[in-house]
Structure 1
């Protein structure tokens, strides 16, 4: 069975990848730091690595730099950078470090599947089964236009997959809120920046556009070392997460 290593610290993104790859016929190993990822690579070979760039401790770029310096680190393994921070300069840097593929968050299930299938050299590509009409219709009864667009864009039209992923995210939001409160109380700007970076992608994928904008702003303010504004922005983002939990957990259908 092919083996895939996912290095991603956001639990909601981890779940998205799990949902997307659950029928691919590969073992998915998940870790949230480069340090732990390197330990996994020392223990057994992997066919593909999916890594974020912004991670606690060392970054995804550090992983690529270490592999270039040490030919013994996953020499035959293709590395896919899976990030919302793929600026032109970052892409140039990654190309120089020998990254195999770059995927921008948010991404659709189909695009992620296609990339992984190509990376594994599998044949034929995994088939994503469209939900039957009655199932999709009943699942979409309470969905608005933005949510239906998100389902088509990111979930290959599978409303049930979207709803499963959203429920997992709603549960994770309680953990995110607790972590954000701790970062706010300790004035930990790097942690607030990572929080904004991760939630930005999750909220866009869920069609929570206002929350995604708040998360993007938090990431920017924390990066600019604007503590007072970042703390205020976290308060607004926290309210948006709580509002999403209330709306969707009490929503009929």
Structure 2
């Protein structure tokens, strides 16, 4: 049975990957830190690594540097960077670190499956590539567009993922409130970074824009504006929970 290591601190994205790969017959190891990921690699080899870049503690870049410095840690293992922060300069840096494939969040189930299947095939593959952004959906059909784009038309998979995310939002709200009260800008930035992808995947476009703005304000170290932006994003999360309350069971 192939083994896949996922290093991702966003529990909603973890669930998305779990749902997408559950029928592949692979063992999926999940951790939210580079430290734990390296421990998994020391215990037993894996066939594919999926990693985010923005992680608590050491970053995905640090992981890649460690793998390059110590190739015996994961010999012949392909690394896929799975991130919403793939700027041109970041892509260049990742290429220099030997990344096999880059996937831009949000990504469709089918694109993720194709990438993983190819990564496990051990066959020669084309040069590093990134996923292309999907065209914007009409306002009246954003949910259907999200189902077709990110879930390969599988409505049940979308609803399962949305239910998991709506439940997670309560935890996110508590964490965001604490970060705001503690004036913790790095935590607010991570919150915005994670939620913008999740909300886009759920067709919550307005919430995704609020999350993106929160990430930017926190990065600019504008604490008052970031705290205000968090309040707006919190309302958007609560609104999503209210609108889809039947999904919460």
- Out of 151, 154, 179, the position equivalent to 1:158 is 154
Equivalences, count: 232
Alpha-carbon distance, 1:182 to partner: 1.0
- Output one character per residue of 1:161-196: Cα deviation in whole Å (capped at 9) or x when no partner: 101100000000011111111111111111110100
SS at match of 1:181: helix
Look up the match of 2:113.
113
Deviation digits for residues 126-147 of structure 1 (CA, Å, limit 9, x no counterpart):
xxxxxxxxxxxxxxxxxx6110
Report what 1:94 is aligned to: 94
Tell me, in whole angstroms, the C-alpha distance in 2 between the residues paired with 1:9 and 1:201: 13
Distance 1:162 1:190, change over 3 A: same
1:59 and 1:74, CA in 2 relative to 1: closer, same or farther beyond 3 A? Answer: same
Of 211, 220, 224, which residue of structure 1 is paired with 2:220? 224
TM-score for both structures, normalised by structure 1: 0.90
Distance 1:72 1:184 in 2: 42
Give the equivalent residue in structure 2 for 1:140: none
Structure-2 separation of matches of 1:56 and 1:41: 19
Supply the distance in 1 between the matched residues of 2:181 and 2:102 (Cα, whole angstroms): 35
Q: Which residue of 2 aligns with 1:172?
A: 168
Contiguous gaps of at least 5 residues in structure 2: 124-139
- Secondary structure of the 1:80 match is strand
**Separation (CA, whole Å) in 2 of partners of 1:70 and 1:149:** 43
- Give CA deviations for 1:99-153 in whole Å, capped at 9, x if unaligned: 0100000000000000000000089xxxxxxxxxxxxxxxxxxxx6110010011
Q: Provide TM-score, normalisation by structure 2.
A: 0.91
Deviation of residue 71 (structure 1)? 2.0
Q: What CA deviation, in whole Å up to 9, does each residue of 1:14-34 have, x standing for no partner?
A: 000000000011000100010
RMSD: 1.4
Q: Distance in 2 between matches of 1:169 and 1:185?
A: 24
Asked if 1:148 corresponds to 2:133, the answer is no
Matched, 1:26 2:55: no
* Structure 1 residues 50-73: Cα deviation after superposition (integer angstroms, max 9, x where no partner): 000000011101000011111222
Query: Pairwise mapping of residues 6-45 of structure 1 onto structure 2 (< 5 A)?
Result: 6-45=6-45
Separation in 2, partners of 1:122, 1:249: 44
Deviation of 1:41 after TM superposition, in Å, equals: 0.6
**Counterpart position of 1:213:** 209
